[in-house]
């Protein structure tokens, strides 16, 4: 059947088409049946688009053109646009994910299950059931539309999509951060707290499959812990996971931290006139859906090569190199603004099961926000040592009830932020480079004036205040040190380490660099990519030297794993 005749048929079937042909007397019948007609119309429309994409390999462009031929007044066009948007570029993935027409039409509320009646479907029901698959679809549509918002500005203004867009917006606001279909907190999407933040889910339809779990029946049949190791050695019938990972002290790494640990970064090319271009903003959407953080390059959980200058080194990559059974076992629970006061909120997103999962090394790194705030009365708003003590004990108690036995917690002290002012105040900010007219001192006082200075204590021309802030930071670090010395827990041991800012600067100077080059140029506050990479190297060496058991043994089978499983399914 030629597409045009198909559209004609649809036109006849749709309720709007019928009512436009009907007179007043017939209305009640159609009103009653309106719901059903709408559903059939949607199912037909979506089926056709899906099949055109699948069988004729219609490109999305071609589908869009077809949609535009449809009468604008009717729901048809909207459904057609949506279906081509959903199926056009990703038909294969949709099929893999067992999405079908019924799911789409239920998800966009054109087919509804009536109370006390079975749900109607044209195609075989998805294995996971209609409701689960619908949820999955809703999230997929949300992500797709979010991703295309910049080149499909008109999509949400289509009358039909208005409601959907509203739903998606509120969905993004309320249901995210986890772009996760089976509810195990691990995702197949990079941003929106997806696998840039914690290891990629290798089966997002099965909540018992996720990174960090102890292998189910030695992963003889499938990779239950997503580390890329599974199956049975045909030579002796022993599962590879048992052969290569059993007894190797495999474990994951989890970071509870602030914007430094999430790796906050605003690309300088966004604000530097000489570098501004369309290309400079090509990463804008990704950055925004990632809260302006770049955990994929960060000090603790970085795993991708940096695209924001410097290079990537991380505790996770080291831990993976030491034991390839640790592949994908990382979680970055950090958040911009994280501090000892709100760390319990971050902990709600922890994914670790005492019974089923491997132990973890948890890094607690709230390096500034307990003394940094934008209040004019900044000292008054800093955390008191007593409060710090209470907050951290609460955190550790929580961890003790969730971490598997044999875990470790490392408390990192607060940074001494005086190096920020010392190294930057008389240098030009990217905004002032063109005309040599904005220094960091000016930027800091402008931010203070607006009461949005990220740290009035350290980013200040008042040296007494800077010293006071460092003094409080040092007191708070002492609290952490004391806790590590005294407190004992059932499921982990606790250690303390200073934030190695001095060592990072020294190492960078030895490499020929200058200290100011370690600070984020746009905000003049955060450690940048180079500081993160060097920090990872220093922290790793310190742990290895002082508490080697925290990192586990080196796996003697690493090269065999690499030979058989190559990149272990990638990240
Ligand atoms: Ca998942
Ligand atoms: Ca899963
Ligand atoms: Ca495995």
The verdict on whether omega for the bond into residue 177 sits within 30 degrees of 0, i.e. cis, is: yes
Instruction: Pick the closest to residue 420 from 516, 500, 503 (CA basis).
Output: 516
pLDDT in the model for residue 307:
94
Q: How far is the CA of 202 from the centre of ligand 1 (A)?
A: 8
CA 189 vs CA 150, 203, 471: distances in Å: 19, 12, 42
Share of the chain above pLDDT 70, in %: 79
- 208, pLDDT greater than 60: yes
Q: Relative to the alpha carbon of 208, which ligand is closest?
A: 2
DSSP state of 415: P
Rounded CA separation 199/191 (Å) = 12
Q: Which of 50-59, 203-212, 541-550 has the lowest mean pLDDT?
A: 50-59
Helix (H) or strand (E) holding 411: strand 407-412
Q: How confident is the model at residue 87 (pLDDT cuts 50, 70, 90)?
A: low
Taking the alpha carbons at both ends of the chain, their separation in whole angstroms is 44
Q: What is the mean pLDDT of residues 190-199?
A: 91
Residue written as token pair 């490392």: 410
Strands (DSSP E) found in 222-336:
252-257, 330-332
- 264, pLDDT greater than 90: yes
The one catalytic residue among 224, 250, 259, 460: 259
pLDDT in the model for residue 111:
78
CA 293 vs CA 119, 191, 298, 346, 431: distances in Å: 43, 10, 9, 15, 21
Residue written as token pair 């918002």: 149
Q: How far is the CA of 348 from the centre of ligand 2 (A)?
A: 18
pLDDT in the model for residue 368:
97
- For residue 328, report the phi and psi dihedrals to the nearest 5 degrees: 70, 5
Rounded CA separation 465/417 (Å) = 12
Q: How far is the CA of 488 from the centre of ligand 1 (A)?
A: 33
Instruction: Pick the closest to residue 499 from 387, 389, 371, 363 (CA basis).
Output: 363
pLDDT in the model for residue 36:
64
- 569, pLDDT greater than 90: yes
pLDDT in tens, 475-499: 999 999 999 999 999 999 999 999 9
Rounded CA separation 195/189 (Å) = 6
pLDDT in the model for residue 89:
56
Residue 433 vs residue 87, higher pLDDT: 433
- 90, pLDDT greater than 60: no
pLDDT in tens, 544-564: 999 999 999 999 999 999 999
pLDDT in the model for residue 143:
60
pLDDT in the model for residue 373:
93
pLDDT in the model for residue 124:
74
pLDDT in tens, 506-525: 999 999 999 999 999 999 99
Q: How far is the CA of 63 from the centre of ligand 3 (A)?
A: 41
- 26, pLDDT greater than 50: no
Q: How confident is the model at residue 283 (pLDDT cuts 50, 70, 90)?
A: confident
Q: How far is the CA of 136 from the centre of ligand 1 (A)?
A: 10
pLDDT in the model for residue 395:
98
Q: Relative to the alpha carbon of 188, which ligand is closest?
A: 1
Q: Which residues contact 162 (CB under 8 A, 6 or more apart)?
A: 156
Which residues on adjacent β-strands are paired with residue 548? none
Token pair in block for residue 226: 């997503």
Q: How confident is the model at residue 227 (pLDDT cuts 50, 70, 90)?
A: very high
Task: List own/partner pairs for 170-177 with CB under 8 A and 24 or more apart.
Answer: 171/138, 171/139, 171/142, 172/142, 172/146, 175/139, 177/349
Q: What is the mean pLDDT of residues 426-441?
A: 88
Residue 530 vs residue 104, higher pLDDT: 530
Residue 31 has a CB neighbour count (10 Å cut-off) of 11
Q: Relative to the alpha carbon of 179, which ligand is closest?
A: 1
Catalytic annotation present for 259: yes
pLDDT in tens, 446-486: 888 777 789 999 999 999 999 999 999 999 999 999 999 99
Q: Which residues contact 132 (CB under 8 A, 6 or more apart)?
A: 126
- Sheet-wide strand order for 252-257: 330-332, 252-257, 360-365, 407-412, 492-497
Q: Which residues contact 117 (CB under 8 A, 6 or more apart)?
A: none
How does the average pLDDT of the chain come out, rounded?
84
Q: How confident is the model at residue 162 (pLDDT cuts 50, 70, 90)?
A: low
- 272, pLDDT greater than 50: yes
pLDDT in the model for residue 71:
63
Residue written as token pair 């190199």: 321
Q: How far is the CA of 179 from the centre of ligand 2 (A)?
A: 12
Residue ranges in 206-276 assigned as alpha helix (H): 240-245, 259-262
Q: How far is the CA of 332 from the centre of ligand 1 (A)?
A: 15
Which residues on adjacent β-strands are paired with residue 496? 411
The string of DSSP codes covering 73-138 is TSHHHHHHHHHHHHHTTTHHHHHHTT--HHHHHHHTTSS-PPTTSPPP-SSPPPTT-HHHHHHHHH
Q: How far is the CA of 226 from the centre of ligand 3 (A)?
A: 5
Q: How far is the CA of 201 from the centre of ligand 2 (A)?
A: 5
Q: How far is the CA of 402 from the centre of ligand 1 (A)?
A: 19
Residue written as token pair 């006139």: 273
Q: How confident is the model at residue 434 (pLDDT cuts 50, 70, 90)?
A: confident
Residue 125 vs residue 187, higher pLDDT: 187
Write out the residues surrounding ion ligand 3, Cβ under 5 A: 219, 223, 225, 227, 229-230, 241
Rounded CA separation 269/307 (Å) = 13
Residue 54 vs residue 165, higher pLDDT: 54
Residue 136 vs residue 501, higher pLDDT: 501
Q: How far is the CA of 218 from the centre of ligand 3 (A)?
A: 7
Q: How far is the CA of 560 from the centre of ligand 3 (A)?
A: 15
Q: How far is the CA of 203 from the centre of ligand 2 (A)?
A: 5
- 244, pLDDT greater than 60: yes
Q: How far is the CA of 166 from the centre of ligand 1 (A)?
A: 25
Q: What is the mean pLDDT of residues 276-295?
A: 77
- 168, pLDDT greater than 70: no
Residue 95 vs residue 541, higher pLDDT: 541
pLDDT in the model for residue 483:
98
Q: How confident is the model at residue 205 (pLDDT cuts 50, 70, 90)?
A: confident
pLDDT in the model for residue 103:
80
Residue 425 has a CB neighbour count (10 Å cut-off) of 17
- 7, pLDDT greater than 50: no
Q: Which of 38-47, 79-88, 377-386 has the lowest mean pLDDT?
A: 79-88
């Amino acid at each position: 059947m030629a597409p045009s005749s198909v559209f004609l048929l649809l036109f006849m079937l749709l309720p709007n088409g019928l009512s436009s042909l009907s007179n007043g007397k017939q209305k009640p019948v159609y009103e009653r049946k309106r719901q059903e007609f709408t559903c059939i119309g949607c199912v037909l429309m979506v089926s056709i688009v899906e099949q055109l994409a699948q069988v004729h390999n219609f490109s999305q462009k071609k589908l869009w053109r077809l949609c535009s031929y449809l009468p604008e007044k009717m729901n048809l066009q909207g459904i057609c646009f949506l279906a081509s948007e959903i199926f056009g570029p990703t038909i294969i993935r949709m099929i893999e994910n067992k999405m079908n027409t019924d799911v789409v039409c239920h998800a966009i509320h054109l087919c509804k299950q009536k109370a006390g009646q079975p749900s109607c479907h044209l195609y075989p029901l998805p294995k996971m059931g209609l409701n689960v698959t619908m949820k999955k679809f809703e999230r997929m549509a949300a992500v797709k539309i979010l991703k295309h918002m910049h080149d499909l500005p008109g999509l949400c203004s289509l009358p039909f999509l208005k409601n959907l867009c509203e739903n998606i917006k509120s969905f993004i606001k309320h249901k995210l951060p986890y772009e996760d279909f089976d509810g195990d907190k691990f995702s197949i999407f990079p941003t929106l707290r997806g696998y840039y933040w914690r290891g990629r889910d290798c089966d997002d339809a099965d909540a018992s499959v996720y990174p960090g779990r102890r292998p189910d029946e030695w992963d003889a049949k499938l990779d239950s812990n997503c580390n890329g190791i599974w199956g049975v050695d045909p030579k002796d019938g022993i599962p590879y996971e048992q052969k290569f990972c059993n007894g190797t002290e495999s474990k994951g790494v989890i970071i509870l931290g602030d914007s430094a640990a999430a790796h906050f970064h605003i690309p300088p090319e966004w604000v530097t006139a000489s570098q501004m271009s369309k290309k400079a903003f090509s990463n804008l959407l990704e950055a925004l859906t990632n809260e302006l953080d770049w955990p994929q390059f960060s000090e603790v959980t970085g795993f991708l090569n940096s695209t924001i200058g410097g290079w990537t080194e991380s505790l996770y990559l080291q831990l993976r190199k030491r034991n390839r059974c640790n592949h994908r076992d990382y979680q970055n629970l950090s958040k911009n603004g994280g501090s000892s006061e709100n760390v319990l909120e971050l902990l709600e997103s922890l994914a670790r099961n005492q019974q089923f999962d491997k132990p973890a090394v948890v890094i607690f790194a709230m390096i500034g926000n307990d003394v940094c705030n934008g209040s004019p009365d900044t000292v008054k708003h800093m955390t008191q040592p007593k409060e710090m003590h209470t907050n951290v004990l609460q955190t550790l108690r929580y961890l003790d009830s969730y971490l598997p036995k044999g875990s470790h917690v490392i408390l990192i002290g607060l940074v001494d932020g005086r190096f920020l002012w010392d190294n930057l105040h008389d240098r030009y900010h990217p905004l002032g480079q063109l005309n040599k007219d904005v220094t960091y001192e000016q930027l800091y006082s402008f931010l203070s004036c607006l009461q949005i200075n990220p740290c009035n204590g350290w980013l200040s021309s008042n040296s007494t205040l800077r010293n006071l802030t460092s003094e409080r930071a040092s007191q708070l670090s002492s609290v952490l040190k004391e806790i590590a010395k005294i407190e004992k827990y059932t499921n982990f041991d606790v250690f303390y380490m200073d934030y190695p800012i001095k060592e990072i600067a020294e190492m960078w100077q030895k490499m020929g660099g200058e200290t100011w080059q370690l600070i984020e140029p746009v905000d003049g506050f955060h450690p940048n990519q180079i500081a993160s990479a060097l920090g990872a190297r220093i922290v790793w060496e310190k742990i290895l030297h002082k508490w080697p058991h925290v990192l586990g043994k080196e796996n003697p089978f690493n090269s065999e794993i690499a030979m058989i499983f190559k990149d272990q399914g990638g990240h």
